[in-house]
Amino acid sequence: MSQTASYGTHRPANAAQAGANLDTILRSILFVAVFLSVWISFHPFKSLAEATSQVTEGGDVANQIGFSTIFLMLAAWLCFNEPGRLMLLLRPALLAVLAWFVVTTLTSWEPALAARRVAFMLVIMSIAGMTLLLPKNLRHFADLLAITVLIVLTVCYLGVFLIPQYAVHQANDYLEPAHEGDWRGVFEHKNEAGANMVLFIFVGLFVARVRSVALGGVIVVLATIFLIFTESKTAIGVLVPVMVISHVIVHSRRPWPGLALTIGVIAAFNLASVGSVAFAWVRDLISMVLPDVTYTGRTEIWQFALDHVMVHPIFGYGYGAFWGTDQVVYGMASHSEWANTAEHAHNSYLNLALSIGLPGLALIVLWSVILPVSDFCKLPPDVPSRPLQILFLRACLFGMLASCFESVIFQELAEGSFLFMVGALGLRYLSATRIRI
C-alpha cells in the first residue's frame, strides 16, 4: 500500500519532468535549426567559378521550401505556447510598414514578383518573431546561441582548411577574381562572411557575460580571426563605431543622446557613400582620405539607383522587383556598363527608396532605426535581461551602419539581416512585456 502510494505520488512528478525536458529539447532543436538555416543556408560552399544567371526573378526554391517548412513548424509549436505573445510585436509603425508594402506591391511594375518577395519577407519576419519565444530563459538563449555559432564557426574553418576552393575566394571566381585569398567559409561572399563574424563577436560578448567568460572568449577570438581574413572593409570598419555608439546608449539616462549620435553617424556614412556620387565636394573630400573613391565599383551602382529613384520616388518599383528583372538587366543595359546587373544597391536606404519609395523608406527608418533605440532606453539598466538587450542593440546598430555600404535592412537573408530583424523585434518585445529572462 505504501509502495503503491509512493509510486502514485512520484508518477505525475516524473511525467511532468519528462514533459518539461521534451519541451526544452523541442525548443532547442527549433532554435538551432532556424539559425543554422540562416547562417549555413540550404546551399553552403557554393562554387563561384561558374557563371550565374543575371536574371533572378524566379527566386531560390531551396530557400522558399526550407523556410516555409520552418515557418510551419514554428507556427505549430506556437499554437500550444501562448500565441498571443506574438501580437505584442505588431506595433503601429510596423503595421504602417506592412501596409505600405501592400500599396507598393499593387503599384509595382511587376506586381506578381513583388507579391512573392513580400510574402517571403513576411515568412522570414514571422520566423524571427517566433524564434524569440523559443528560449525558456536568458541562460537558455545564451546556450543555444553559443552552440549554433560554434557549429557555424567550426564548419567555416573546416571549409577553409579542407575545401578552400569552396570556402576561400579563388582567382577563377567568375564575377570577382580580385578577392582571391579572402575567406568566406560557408557564405557566398567575403562581405557576408565578415558581417556575420562581427555579429558572432557580439554573441561571444553576450555569452561571456551571461554564461561563461571562457566560452564567450573562444567565440570572440575565432570570429575575430576569421573576420580579419575575410578582409571585409565594411564589417571591419563598422565594428568600432557600433561598439562606441552602443556604449553611449547603454550609459545614457535619456534616449536622445544615443539616438542623435546614431542618426548622425548614419547620415554621415550615407553622405560619405551615396553622397559621393551626388556631391562633388564630398567626392573630393573622400579622395583625400581613401585611395579608392569608387568604393570598389559601388559608385556606379549608386548613381544608377539614384537616377531610377527619381523616376518613381513615391511608390518605387515594388519590393524585390527591380534588381535582377528583365527590364533592368536587358532593358537598361545601354545606360550602364554593369550596374544594371547588380543584385542590390549596396546601400539599404537607397535600395528601399528604389523598391518602396521615399515614404516607405521613412516608415522603415522609424521602425528599424528610431524605435529600437527608444525601446532599449525604456528599460532600467539593472534588469537581468540587460545583456540580451545589449546584444539586440548591437545587432541593430550594425545593421543600421552596414546598410550604408551594403543592403542589410529588409534584404532577403543578406549580411546580418536576420539577426537585425530579431534584434529590432526583440527590443520591442522586451520593452512591451518588461520580461525578466
| pLDDT single digits (tens) 263-282 | 999 999 999 999 988 888 88
Kindly state whether residue 427 falls inside one of the protein's structural domains.
yes
Domain that holds residue 395: 23-43+61-135+233-433
Q: What is the structure's pLDDT at 394?
A: 97
Q: What is the structure's pLDDT at 380?
A: 79
Kindly state whether residue 182 falls inside one of the protein's structural domains.
no
Each residue's pLDDT tens digit, 42-88: 889 988 887 665 556 666 788 889 999 999 999 999 999 888 889 98
Q: Over 80: is that where the pLDDT of 335 sits?
A: no
Q: Which pLDDT band holds residue 21 (cuts at 50, 70, 90)?
A: confident
Strand segments, DSSP code E, in 49-207 are none
Q: Check: CB of residue 321 under 8 Å from CB of residue 121.
A: no
Kindly state whether residue 213 falls inside one of the protein's structural domains.
no
DSSP string, 215-274: HHHHHHHHHHHHHHHHT-HHHHHHHHHHHHHHHHHHT-SSHHHHHHHHHHHHHHHHHHHT
Q: Over 90: is that where the pLDDT of 197 sits?
A: yes
Q: In angstroms, how far is CA 206 from the centroid of its own chain?
A: 17
Q: What is the structure's pLDDT at 354?
A: 94
What's the pTM value of the predicted model, to 2 decimals? 0.90
Q: Is the dihedral of CA 315, 320, 393, 249 positive or negative?
A: negative
- Rounded CA separation 140/280 (Å): 52
Tell me the backbone φ, ψ of residue 375, rounded to 5 degrees: -60, -40
- Rounded CA separation 314/171 (Å): 43
- Nearest alpha carbon to residue 55 among 417, 302, 412, 340: 340
State which H helix or E strand residue 158 sits in. helix 138-162
- Rounded CA separation 195/416 (Å): 6
Kindly state whether residue 174 falls inside one of the protein's structural domains.
no
DSSP string, 188-203: SSHHHHHHHHHHHHHH
What proportion of the chain, given as a percentage, has pLDDT over 90?
63
Higher pLDDT pick, 89 / 335? 89
Mean pLDDT for all residues in the chain: 88
Q: What is the structure's pLDDT at 16?
A: 62
Higher pLDDT pick, 215 / 294? 215
Q: What is the structure's pLDDT at 5?
A: 36
Q: Which pLDDT band holds residue 7 (cuts at 50, 70, 90)?
A: very low
Kindly state whether residue 1 falls inside one of the protein's structural domains.
no
Q: Over 80: is that where the pLDDT of 412 sits?
A: no
Each residue's pLDDT tens digit, 83-135: 888 998 989 999 999 999 999 999 999 999 999 999 999 999 999 999 999 99
Task: Name residue, grid cell 567555416.
Answer: 156
- Rounded CA separation 19/23 (Å): 6
Higher pLDDT pick, 330 / 199? 199
Q: What is the structure's pLDDT at 291?
A: 75
Q: What is the structure's pLDDT at 102?
A: 96
* Total structural domains within the chain: 1
Kindly state whether residue 289 falls inside one of the protein's structural domains.
yes
Q: In angstroms, how far is CA 347 from the centroid of its own chain?
A: 14
Higher pLDDT pick, 298 / 128? 128
Q: What is the structure's pLDDT at 343?
A: 80
Q: What is the structure's pLDDT at 1?
A: 44
Q: What is the structure's pLDDT at 411?
A: 81
Q: Over 80: is that where the pLDDT of 363 sits?
A: yes
- CB count within 10 Å of CB 389 equals 22
Q: What is the structure's pLDDT at 121?
A: 93
* Helix ranges (DSSP H) in 310-416: 326-329, 348-365, 371-378, 386-402
- Nearest alpha carbon to residue 420 among 353, 345, 349, 369: 369
Q: What is the structure's pLDDT at 178?
A: 86
Q: What is the structure's pLDDT at 288?
A: 82
Q: Which pLDDT band holds residue 431 (cuts at 50, 70, 90)?
A: confident
Q: Check: CB of residue 349 under 8 Å from CB of residue 404.
A: yes
DSSP string, 350-371: HHHHHHHHHHHHHHHHIIIIIH
Spatial CB neighbours of 340, under 8 Å, sequence gap ≥ 6: 304, 328, 329, 332, 333
Q: Check: CB of residue 430 under 8 Å from CB of residue 140.
A: no
Tell me the backbone φ, ψ of residue 183, rounded to 5 degrees: -75, 145
Q: What is the structure's pLDDT at 398?
A: 96
In this prediction, residues 309-336 reach a mean pLDDT of 84
Kindly state whether residue 259 falls inside one of the protein's structural domains.
yes
What proportion of the chain, given as a percentage, has pLDDT over 70?
91
Least confident of 66-70, 127-131, 179-183, 380-384: 380-384
Q: What share of the chain is helix, strand, coil (3-state, %, to 5)?
A: 70, 0, 30
Q: Over 70: is that where the pLDDT of 31 sits?
A: yes
Q: Over 50: is that where the pLDDT of 401 sits?
A: yes
- Rounded CA separation 435/36 (Å): 26
